[in-house]
């Protein structure tokens, strides 16, 4: 597994080769085996490919246009061009997997302290599932990209997905058409504090 961690890259260019369903199922199985707070397993995976992907891309584009006119994330306007680029990446990738938290609370609602803690714990659990998925994709010789830009089309995608819960993230899967170098990482001495 360490080699998958070392070799994993965020892939933004994909070959137009379909991914075998058994490989997708292995990636999903890895996600479902992640540890989760109180064993809540707060995830539903929605796999989008083929003709459904065209509709999803239209929905995402509609959300991006709405975000320009009536932003849900007004302080994130400088990142809108990155979200538009993400749409192009999603178009290239043969598979897009959406992760929905069936226990999630709408981002339109103000949370009390206990609800906020549950959301944090569920987000950590989903992060573990996403990490399992991206590492499994790497082991299978596939590329992946963990996507949060779906929040620029949050309401539109939630309605289209039509799954109980709240959209958390997406992941593209496919055969990489690029070999990006490793990005620099912080040194351990800069990020670790020892208390003995």
pLDDT of the residue at 140: 98
Q: What is the pLDDT of residues 117-160, one digit of tens each?
A: 999 999 999 999 999 999 999 999 999 999 999 999 999 999 99
pLDDT of the residue at 114: 95
Q: For residue 3, is it within any domain? A: no
pLDDT of the residue at 48: 98
pLDDT of the residue at 81: 93
Secondary structure class of 118 (helix, strand, coil): helix
Domain of 62, CATH number, reads 3.40.109.10
125 token code pair: 């659990």
Reply yes or no on whether the pLDDT at 27 is more than 80: yes
Q: What is the pLDDT of residues 36-75, one digit of tens each?
A: 999 999 999 999 999 999 999 999 999 999 999 999 889 9
pLDDT of the residue at 73: 87
Count the Cβ atoms, other than its own, within 10 Å of residue 32. 14
Secondary structure class of 140 (helix, strand, coil): coil
Nearest to 169, CA basis, from 125, 111, 139? 125
Structural domain boundaries enclosing 73: 11-176
Q: How confident is the model at residue 2 (pLDDT cuts 50, 70, 90)?
A: confident
Q: Average pLDDT, stretch 90-111?
A: 95
Q: For residue 5, is it within any domain? A: no
Q: For residue 196, is it within any domain? A: no
Q: For residue 190, is it within any domain? A: no
pLDDT of the residue at 59: 97
Q: What is the pLDDT of residues 168-187, one digit of tens each?
A: 999 999 999 999 999 999 99
Residues in Cβ contact with 132 at an 8 Å cutoff, skipping those fewer than 6 apart: 30, 31, 33, 34
Secondary structure class of 48 (helix, strand, coil): strand
Q: How confident is the model at residue 110 (pLDDT cuts 50, 70, 90)?
A: very high
Q: For residue 6, is it within any domain? A: no
Reply yes or no on whether the pLDDT at 1 is more than 80: no
Q: Looking at the 3D structure of the chain, how many domains does it have?
A: 1
What's the predicted TM-score (pTM) here?
0.95
pLDDT of the residue at 118: 95
């Amino acid at each position: 597994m360490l080699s998958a961690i070392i070799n994993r890259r965020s892939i933004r260019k994909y070959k137009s080769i379909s991914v075998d369903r058994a490989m997708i199922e292995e990636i999903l199985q890895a996600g479902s085996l992640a540890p989760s707070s109180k064993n809540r397993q707060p995830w539903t995976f929605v796999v989008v490919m083929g003709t459904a992907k065209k509709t999803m891309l239209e929905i995402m584009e509609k959300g991006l246009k709405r975000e320009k006119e009536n932003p849900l994330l007004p302080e994130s306007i400088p990142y809108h061009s990155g979200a538009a680029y993400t749409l192009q990446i999603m178009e290239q990738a043969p598979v897009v997997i959406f992760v929905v938290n069936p226990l999630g609370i709408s981002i339109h609602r103000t949370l009390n302290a206990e609800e906020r803690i549950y959301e944090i714990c569920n987000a950590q659990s989903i992060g573990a599932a996403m990490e399992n998925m991206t590492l499994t994709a790497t082991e299978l010789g596939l590329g992946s990209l963990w996507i949060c830009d779906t929040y620029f089309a949050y309401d539109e995608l939630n309605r289209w997905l039509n799954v109980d819960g709240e959209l958390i993230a997406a992941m593209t899967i496919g055969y990489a058409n690029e070999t990006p170098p490793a990005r620099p990482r912080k040194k351990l001495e800069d990020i670790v504090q020892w208390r003995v």
